[in-house]
Amino acid sequence: MKRILPVVAALALLSSPAFAQNAAQVDRAQNGASCPRCNLFQADFNNRELKGKNFAGARLRQSDMGLGIFNGTTFAGADLRDINGSGALFGRVSFAGANLTNANFVGAYLEHANFKGAILDGVNFSGAEMSTAVGLTQRQLDRTCGDESTELPRGLRIPRCQAR
């Protein structure tokens, strides 16, 4: 019995909703409200237009932003790990200091996007347009991948994505 109690306690902690999305915040954000520091975990922003919004410091991990329009939006310091941003428009957005680990930006428009201090480990930029992006370093890009159609700022290069 003494061995079971710690296991039960650990399972209770792991199953707590502390990391679940905030449904009210997701609803407001999906309907066009800015939501800095909100918990938007796994939110569906697919094909939504959210231009000029503030999601600084928000938790958007595993959110679907594919085919969305986010021009002029700030995601500075946000948790964007594992997001799907394929085919989306991110012109003039700020990803400064954001964590974009394993994000998918296949075919995304990222012109004038700010990546200063962003974590880009495992990001797929295949086919992305980002020739005017700012704050990118070779060190950041060395931890990402792209393809022959990825457009980068002058002087930078990107490793080719490996077939999985």
Quote the pLDDT of residue 84.
Answer: 98
Q: Which fold has domain 36-164?
A: Pectate Lyase C-like (2.160.20)
pLDDT at residue 11 is higher than 70: no
Which candidate, 146, 152, 87, 84, places its Cα nearest to that of 115?
152
The count of other CB atoms within 10 Å of the CB of residue 138 is 11
Q: Where are the alpha helices (DSSP H) in 19-67?
A: 23-30
pLDDT tens-digit series, residues 104-149: 999 999 999 999 999 999 999 999 999 999 999 999 999 999 999 9
Q: What is the mean pLDDT of residues 84-106?
A: 98
Q: Output the CA torsion 46→97→158→160 (10° steps).
A: -50
- CA–CA gap between residue 164 and residue 90 (Å, rounded): 27
Q: Domain-by-domain residue ranges, the chain? A: 36-164
Fill in the amino acid letter for 47.
N
Q: Which two three-digit tokens encode residue 12? A: 């209770």
pTM: predicted TM-score of the whole model, two decimal places: 0.88
Tell me if 128 sits within 8 A of 145, measured CB to CB. Answer: no
Q: Is 28 exposed, middle or buried (0-12, 13-18, 19+ CB in 10 A)?
A: middle
pLDDT band at 34; cut points 50, 70, 90: very high
Quote the pLDDT of residue 16.
Answer: 41
Name every residue whose Cβ is closer than 8 Å to that of residue 139 and which is 6 or more positions away in sequence.
Answer: none
Tell me if 40 sits within 8 A of 60, measured CB to CB. Answer: yes
pLDDT band at 163; cut points 50, 70, 90: confident
pLDDT tens-digit series, residues 61-82: 999 999 999 999 999 999 999 9
